[in-house]
Structure 1
Amino acid sequence: MRITRNTLTAGALGAVLAWAGSAGADDITLPGSIAMTAYGTGSAGYTQMAALGNHLQNNYGTSVRILPGENDVARMTPLRTGRVPLCSCGIASFYGAEGVFMFAGPDWGPQDIRVIGTSIANFGLGLAVAGDIGVETPADLEGKRIAYIRGDDALNVGVEAFLAFGGLTWDDVERVEFPGYGRSFEGIIADQADAAFTMTVAPPAQQLDASPRGITWPRLDPDDTEGWARFQEVAPYFQPHTVTAAAGGHDEDNPWIGSSYPYPILVANRDVDDELVRGLLRVLIEDNEQYKDAAPGLAGWSLDNQNMEWVIPFHDAVVEYYKEIGHWTDAMQEHQDMLVDRHRTIRIAWGQYVSDDPPRDEDAFKEGWMEARAAALEEKGMDPIFR
């Protein structure tokens, strides 16, 4: 899978902003209320959605109801069942589209979801480590107490990738299990664990920084090609990132040399109403200057921060919008078509697998599905990524 980042040239960006300004906010169509799931109330993702909700209420009369979820099951289930049309998710949305990890089980399967927008700003995503244990690089994590969040593959794979960068696995550290993301940071502050995965500007990271233990972020040397190869073999959606907003005093003068991927990732089911998607996307893109300072990371929703060739296909209404404003290329269409074909292939393979009387034992079911999934993708010349 080819993962690149495309941004507008200065001239094209100016043309888009001029188009947006001429359209005017009065022609944006939004419902009276919008419901979505998001990370827990202490998370950066929740904070961003709450701030965006205030903007929608104050400017469009649209109320936003956020259902906080402490793990991927809590966030993705309401989307799957139709209880909410949107999820302000993490990388579990990618796992859902791919039908892996928790989505490889008989109760889930690959999810037919689409991206509305993503945020990539000056923050990063990484392993927050207590500042009193002398960790400077991922290799220094050996023997340390690392948080493992039950039911949250996204956070756990992020930890696994950092360990891999340092040539380590879960077998080289002490795994400490927690029931949720917020609880893991309470555990670090209480000296029950030493590290947990998070966004660098998330409130729990700020709380750890303010605690007696302090905070540090292991440096990911951009010149360590072998370390990065191990890192991206575990989690290919990551990219190197110079982070200028992170707990612990990191700014433009003192950046953290680390990593990132889009967060939050606003997704919807493929069949969600086009008008909802279009209206919300227009607010995200066209109003960014108005709301970007309301919470850390909101600037990452701007048009020039969108990754146009990432790992989950866009909703059809998103593609139409970008075509209208002149921000769509043949290369983007080719990538979109590839992703749509990839995920169609995965869902067809799932349908065939579950119709062939698969094993009832959950572990055997997952093993058989991952083999069938890999075979279907490889038959079409696509990388399974996960096995």
Structure 2
Amino acid sequence: MSDSVLSGGFVQGLAIKDSLLATGNANIEIRPVSDPITRTKSFMEGSADFCICDVDVYYAQEGLLGYDTENSGPSEIRLVLASKTNFAVGLGLSTDIGSKAVSDLRNQPVPWIRKSPQLNAYMTAFLAYGGLTWQDVQQMTYPNFEQARIGYEKGQLSAIIVPLGSSADQQQTAPRRPYQMAKIDPNQKAAWSRLKSAAPYIESSNIFPGIGLTSPYPLLVTSASEDREKVYQLTKLISENLNDLSERVAGGENWHPTWQNFSWILPYHEGAVDYFKELGIWTPQAQIHQEFLVSRQKRLVKSFDDFSKQTPSPKNFAYEWQVYRADALSKPIE
């Protein structure tokens, strides 16, 4: 399972499929699902063994932003491999209202995109950097990013997410209304700490320093219950065929096992860990962090089960769960 046919994740998935089929050792089918929440929920319910997803799976792990309903809570998701990407986003501030910093967005209209946890998380992180929350701005809801971009061009918004890439890509996706890029400096410790608290998986872009935020994309994930040997073999096949993969798709080499971040926010599947140990790259520090993440996931899942048994109000379910969740995570995790 992957994201939509227009996405980089789908293109990467097709390349992985073709590369592994060429070895004669794998039989893979790629099924695209454009809506991230539907895709992740469907995958976790068993409609696919693996998912080439975006960082939306972080919120599926956390039980937040669409995964905080009566029918959907935290999930025990495991990472297999993450692709180190050059993709980044920045925040465009409208110049015609005099915005020079994120903090200038107080009481200004800012976009919220339906069923797009990733874009909303980036915007939440940008706001946090500026010392703001969604309660400090006018939240304007749009059905998709394209409509939000059009809304910005029509003067309905004071800020817009700007995808950063090649100059040609930026020319296609950037709004025509004037804007300047917000300065996002990791050296501003308090502001950066607020940003990381809002979205722990986000990093400063090395390619667009001072303006860009990035995160690994795409992510190859599976469930904690997936067969250990199957995950080991898939991790090994991809890792040993990166030369072929990189010839089939730009960025194919970005799945390299030595480029994995073993101190990130998702635990790896034990089958993938077996392969990393075989390569000699899995460290004692990585194991300690892994055990912490697994224990934290299990606490989230159990906390959601306990919370649901209290028959919370359907109307206030998400809010009450967030309060209960925060209390559960405030206790030491062994």
TM-score normalised by structure 1 residue count: 0.73
State the alpha-carbon separation in 2 of the partners of residues 335 and 362 from structure 1: 37
For the 8 Å contact 2:17–2:29, the answer to whether it is kept is: yes
Aligned match of 2:314: 361
**Which of 173, 177, 180 pairs up with 1:208?**
173
Aligned match of 1:118: 82
Distance 1:325 1:179, change over 3 A: same
State the alpha-carbon separation in 2 of the partners of residues 181 and 201 from structure 1: 17
Aligned match of 1:314: 268
Aligned match of 1:300: 254
User: Is residue 2:199 matched to residue 1:267?
Assistant: no
Match runs of 1:58-77 below 5 Å = 58-60=22-24, 62-70=27-35, 72-77=36-41
For the 8 Å contact 2:93–2:100, the answer to whether it is kept is: no
Distance 1:291 1:187, change over 3 A: farther
State the alpha-carbon separation in 2 of the partners of residues 51 and 58 from structure 1: 11
Equivalent residue letter for 1:223: N
Distance 1:159 1:212, change over 3 A: closer
Q: By how many angstroms is 1:315 displaced?
A: 0.8
Q: By how many angstroms is 1:335 displaced?
A: 0.9
Q: By how many angstroms is 1:317 displaced?
A: 0.4
Match runs of 1:151-300 below 5 Å = 151-171=115-135, 173-181=137-145, 183-185=147-149, 196-197=160-161, 200-201=164-165, 205=170, 207-209=172-174, 212=176, 217-243=181-207, 257-292=211-246, 294-300=248-254
State the alpha-carbon separation in 2 of the partners of residues 68 and 216 from structure 1: 34
State the alpha-carbon separation in 2 of the partners of residues 74 and 84 from structure 1: 13
Distance 1:262 1:362, change over 3 A: farther
**Which of 46, 52, 71 pairs up with 1:82?**
46
Q: Deviations over 1:312-344 (max 9, x none)?
A: 111110111111121111111111111111111
Distance 1:238 1:179, change over 3 A: same
Stretch of structure 1 that moved more, 97-106 or 313-322: 97-106
State the alpha-carbon separation in 2 of the partners of residues 181 and 367 from structure 1: 26
* Sequence identity percentage: 28
For the 8 Å contact 1:358–1:368, the answer to whether it is kept is: no
For the 8 Å contact 1:114–1:315, the answer to whether it is kept is: yes
For the 8 Å contact 1:98–1:111, the answer to whether it is kept is: yes
Q: By how many angstroms is 1:161 displaced?
A: 1.0
Aligned match of 1:370: 322
State the alpha-carbon separation in 2 of the partners of residues 214 and 57 from structure 1: 48
Q: By how many angstroms is 1:200 displaced?
A: 3.2
Q: Deviations over 1:10-40 (max 9, x none)?
A: xxxxxxxxxxxxxxxxxxxxxxxxxx132x3
CA RMSD of aligned residues (A): 3.3
State the alpha-carbon separation in 1 of the partners of residues 47 and 221 from structure 2: 14
Task: Give SS of 1:52's match.
Answer: helix
Task: Give SS of 1:327's match.
Answer: coil
Task: Give SS of 2:312's match.
Answer: coil
Distance 1:226 1:87, change over 3 A: same
Distance 1:295 1:150, change over 3 A: same
State the alpha-carbon separation in 2 of the partners of residues 311 and 381 from structure 1: 15
Q: Deviations over 1:147-202 (max 9, x none)?
A: 31112333212101112223334355554322234554565577765655475349
Equivalent residue letter for 2:332: K
Aligned match of 2:2: 37
Task: Give SS of 1:107's match.
Answer: coil
State the alpha-carbon separation in 2 of the partners of residues 184 and 274 from structure 1: 43
Task: Give SS of 2:295's match.
Answer: helix
Distance 1:130 1:102, change over 3 A: same
Structure 1 unaligned regions, length at least 5: 1-35, 245-254, 383-387
How many residues are matched?
331
Aligned match of 1:109: 73
For the 8 Å contact 2:152–2:158, the answer to whether it is kept is: yes
